[in-house]
Amino acid sequence: MLKILIAEDEEPIANLIRMNLRRAGYNCVWAADGETAADYMEKEKPDLVLLDVMLPGINGYELMDYARTLELPVIFLTALGTTENKVKGLKMGADDYLTKPFEIVELLARVEAVLRRYHKTESVLEVFDIVIDTASRAVTRGGEQIALTMKEFDLLLLLARNRNIALYRETIYETVWGGEYMGQSRTVDLHIQRLKKKLNWDNEISAVYKVGYRLEAE
């Protein structure tokens, strides 16, 4: 299981991030100050660091220098959203820069993108009795393959990587189909129904009123 360090001094924010990352299958550790974060980075070598700038003790920019010497991927998560701050963070070597407040689904997408860039993504996901092989794009149950179209596979992968998170139809459409959601298209709904039928997931994928869909998984 991939390890992610959350260096964040605000406990409610850290808990929210940790809860959703764990649901998505990541092993998360929280550090509330810069000193604790530096110790963990040195001893455990996490696969990714989510780094707030305004940390007690050693601040995020100083930690960024340390992370770079350890060759650790870093995403800045901060309320400092000016262009100057973003440019500074990226020039220091951060892999991404996300301004608070942010949507959890966007954070998960950026985490996945950075890990994929470093070839650290897990190639196999298991949800209920379904096994998803991202490398071969194969979906199996009990060793038998389930035939999915390309878009059905992408839709399943999006839901599996965002378990227990309500995804807006706009987010689903723009992620899977790559275009702008116009509000009238039933493409998402039709593909969800096809996916539920093929996987026999009548209750596992639920509709969220006025939002979209959510994969209900432990």
Q: What's the CATH fold of domain 3-117? A: Rossmann fold (3.40.50)
Is residue 36 within 8 Å of 25, Cβ to Cβ? no
Looking at the chain, which residues constitute the CATH 3.40.50.2300 domain(s)?
3-117
Q: What residues are paired with 214 via a beta bridge?
A: 206
Beta strands 205-208; 144-145: pairing state: unpaired
* CATH number assigned to the domain covering 124-215: 1.10.10.10
In the predicted model, is pLDDT for residue 213 greater than 80?
A: yes
List where CATH 1.10.10.10 sits in the chain: 124-215
Q: What is the pLDDT of residues 89-136, one digit of tens each?
A: 888 889 999 988 888 888 988 898 898 888 776 678 889 999 999 878
With the C-alpha atoms ordered 211, 216, 217, 218, is the resulting torsion angle positive or negative?
Answer: positive
From the CB of residue 83, how many other CB atoms can be counted at a distance below 10 Å?
Answer: 7
In 138-189, at which residue ranges do the beta strands (DSSP E only) sit? 138-141, 144-145, 167-168
Chain segment 154-206, per-residue pLDDT in tens: 999 989 888 888 888 888 888 888 777 666 678 999 999 999 999 999 999 99
Amino acid at position 100, single letter: K
Q: Model confidence at 10, in pLDDT bands (50, 70, 90)? A: very high
Estimate to the nearest angstrom the gap between the alpha carbon of 177 and the chain centroid. Answer: 19
> Is residue 218 scored above 70 in pLDDT?
no
